[in-house]
Chains A and B, each alone.
Chain A
């Protein structure tokens, strides 16, 4: 297996173009598992850890742009005030060691429906910056993730980063169900972003991709204030939007039920503080 370690972003994009089969790697928390289990045998690994600009985040264009190589730990420590939903989700990722290594870019690259960072990105309406030697494009995250572990990245493209809008007065929540109190893959999760006149939602780990619950969003946007009945209705609409299956981590029926509970609770927290 060839090991490519470009020192600059330009060289990384050139390497990617020259080696379309190369598997990009940063923290390796997903990639190394795949390699160790022999589920993937790419001819080359493209290590991006030397590309320093990928580890930066900046406030720009009314939002926060996070480089693909920013770790979960840094999101928690450095962006918790600006992006509370993403920080809450980052806290639930793996163990401290995994949060130190794993990156938002890696979560996007894996495009797993159970990726903990994805629901907050969907709920907020984030955009993924992808780049190749041909140029750059900004893709809505909902169009970026196209299926279970599949995304819209072309053979010669790399994830440069992700941009999330900052909205005044935004109340963000993230809640995740796992059968252990830490270090667990989501049975299901729910992200919520409520700002003036806009409600964004996303269901995690209960469908082939993260799913926005559009009807629930429209319902919540029409609410004047919190009530238990409204919370239940919102929960039911979120549960209906899910597309869960029975698997080794939980049943479809439980996922649907749990999502209705998470949706109801998080809406109350977002609306009532």
Chain B
């Protein structure tokens, strides 16, 4: 070994991320910044209608535009005409019908992006407009038209937990709604496809999972997978919105057709049509408890609007069911969770993945129950707190630390903030304190880490050590996507610690190494971190055996989490790998006459197992809270009759720095028994219970029920009889 002293910048240290300063200075190369000699620009023609038959597509006028090199339709897709994460139900380019506003119908390659867009506008598509099916409840009924051959019900998950609900001392019920949130990543969908001499194609792409993109695109291109090579380009945020294919197949088709590199970059407006969103939800809950505040049973009915195509709806609806009750000891529950097809924008993965919607409902219910029992809301939660060994509604016991009571205590015992950091409305000068009422609210949530229900979402890492000018150099090669979460930094930290070598190079992520699985489900540090650790251990053992690095030592290892099982017809099964928990306390000032909110402070406590990079942990938690605050107060894609009304950052509002309060943070490191270093995924929990905590605080300030997020001023002041 090279040295006996502990290596610098290993795990547990707040190593600075290599992309941080370049991003702040505007020097980071995002996928939209790529350039190739002789490249063409792609543009997409999209359906203006939420539902219509495509009667014909006339491309001659577009092809005649000078500078245009290709105009492609479904007829030019050589392989499978559809793609999808769970079902291949989404056309690469529309062929018979369009099922949502913005569905791609044709693509153009031209020598200038303006020319490509202009030519796209010259394509004549004959549509027969149909009445869009936009109400998910109606979609579920027998009377509605079938949007897909299998009907409109995408998936129903039924969970039967414990004995049949019976009489109870106290029962509270409520109906709740969650609007359509967008991931609102700042780097729009973009990529560069380069045709290769072997008849294949190389795509440089901002995505969350290179291999699953590649497999879908290869099938559509009718090429063997070794001729379709994907490399990760600079990703400007993801949050689930890059799990589905957007322009990947389009750019490759155009590049193969023209024999030229083709770059595609969505504009901001187009981006709102280019990816899936968070499922809007309608939820009906009944909570029953004994007089002394112990939960007796819960009934929940959850209806998610899946939109036009399946995406990952099947997994989202299952997650909504699994986490419908919250992190509580519940003796009995009956849960029906549905997701349906409509002609609304397709919905799929977004940070929190089904648990966000139900957490908003179950936490509102817990507050309601506490009020009915005249109990403090934190006390009610503590009396029912789940612990290690508590049975999930899906049957299996919680197998990891479940510090529900500890997290609640942490946020509840923290001193309340004094004073304020400004009034609601900020510099807009709407109040000097008139109408301002302070409120405090609590919420706690939990979620699975990694993919569930029997899915083996392994990761692969290749680690090589060599000597460069007499110094050891470690190279780490994976296909894991750095989407801004700091994975590149953490992989290098792991390699330093395992090999006691400071000089570590993380190679670009590509499909020349085995799959790393998705940068989602709070799983990537756990899974790819585990693979890097395992490959490093293998290299170290070989190095120790040989006693020298020699010409170099290389090892490739896969990391698999423990196997899980599918849910049976009663929703029972050991479906989840492990779980992550967080609690939030929100303090808000509400102008109760104007319905404007300023969040004064968020206190949070989260068990991260082991903080490999404490600063990155803090960043993830604060960013997740911002996204949860956004859902509580402002973020919604407004869809009317299937048409998106606010596809811009002018009217799709996300929190600014002036909307974000100081975050008081308590990071617990309780150690997972079954993960590398005991770490636990951290990306999603901050987003899950921050939303209901903010809403609970606004309820406390306004005294109103507030059953829908994002909150609207009208609801907060009671203009609509909320």
Contacts and interface: CB of A to CB of B under 8 A. Distances in A.
* B partners with A: yes
Interface of A: 36-38, 88, 91-92, 173-185, 187, 248-251, 253-254, 257-258, 261-262, 265, 269
B432 interface: yes
A248 B652 CA distance: 9
Contact of A181 (B117, B593, B658, B714): B658
Contacts of B657: 182
B717 A257 contact: yes
A250 B650 CA distance: 14
A263 to B, nearest CB: 11
Contacts of A91: 427
Given A173-B429, A178-B428, A248 B646 contact: yes
A175 B719 contact: no
Nearest to B648: A37
A177 B59 CA distance: 48
Contacts of A257: 717, 719
24 contacts: A92-B429, A176-B430, A177-B594, A178-B428, A179-B653, A180-B656, A181-B422, A181-B424, A181-B598, A181-B656, A182-B657, A182-B659, A183-B658, A184-B653, A251-B719, A254-B595, A254-B713, A254-B717, A257-B717, A261-B435, A262-B430, A262-B594, A265-B431, A269-B432
B508 interface: no
A177 B427 contact: no
Given A173-B429, A181-B598, A253 B714 contact: yes
B269 interface: yes
B325 interface: no
Interface size bracket, B side: 35 or more
Nearest to A262: B430
Given A261-B594, A265-B434, A182 B429 contact: no
A177 B429 contact: no
A247 B651 CA distance: 11
Contacts of A265: 430-432, 434
Given A177-B594, A181-B428, 17 more contacts: A38-B117, A174-B429, A178-B425, A179-B596, A180-B634, A181-B425, A181-B426, A182-B658, A185-B651, A248-B645, A249-B651, A250-B714, A258-B713, A261-B435, A261-B594, A265-B431, A265-B434
Interface string B415-443: 00000001011111111101100000000
Contacts of A181: 422, 424-426, 428, 598, 656, 658-659
With most chain A CB atoms within 10 A of its CB, the pick from B427, B428, B434, B659 is B428
A262 B712 CA distance: 18
B431 A182 contact: no
A151 B596 CA distance: 33
Contacts of B717: 254, 257
B174 interface: no
Nearest to B269: A37
Contacts of A261: 430, 435, 593-594
B426 A182 contact: yes
Given A180-B655, A180-B659, A254-B595, A185 B428 contact: no
A120 to B, nearest CB: 12
B642 to A, nearest CB: 16
Contact of A248 (B269, B424, B593, B651): B651
B719 A254 contact: yes
A184 B279 CA distance: 26
A250 B713 contact: yes
Interface in B375-432: 422, 424-432
Interface in B583-597: 593-596
B503 interface: no
Contact of A185 (B593, B596, B650): B650
A99 to B, nearest CB: 11
A183 B634 contact: no
A189 B489 CA distance: 47
B638 interface: yes
A193 B163 CA distance: 69
A258 B713 CA distance: 10
Nearest to A183: B656
B261 to A, nearest CB: 25
Interface in B575-634: 593-596, 598, 633-634
Given A249-B651, A251-B719, A261-B435, A182 B656 contact: yes
B429 A176 contact: yes
A181 B591 CA distance: 12
A175 B656 contact: no
Contacts of B434: 265
Interface string B671-714: 00000000000000000000000000000000000000000111
A36 B429 CA distance: 32
A215 to B, nearest CB: 22
A249 B650 CA distance: 10
Contacts of B593: 261
Nearest to A95: B656
Contacts of B634: 179-180
Nearest to B710: A179
Contacts of A251: 714, 719
Nearest to A91: B427
B714 A175 contact: no
B646 A175 contact: no
A204 B424 CA distance: 19
Nearest to B596: A177
Contacts of A92: 427-429
Interface in B92-109: none
A41 to B, nearest CB: 11
Contacts of A187: 713
A92 B650 CA distance: 15
Contacts of B435: 261
B713 A179 contact: yes
A258 B650 contact: no
B289 to A, nearest CB: 36
Given A183-B656, A261-B435, A254 B430 contact: no
B657 to A, nearest CB: 8
4 closest A-B pairs (Cβ-Cβ)? A181-B426, A182-B658, A176-B428, A181-B658
B658 to A, nearest CB: 4
A194 to B, nearest CB: 15
Nearest to B121: A38
A37 B432 CA distance: 39
Contacts of B714: 250-251, 253-254
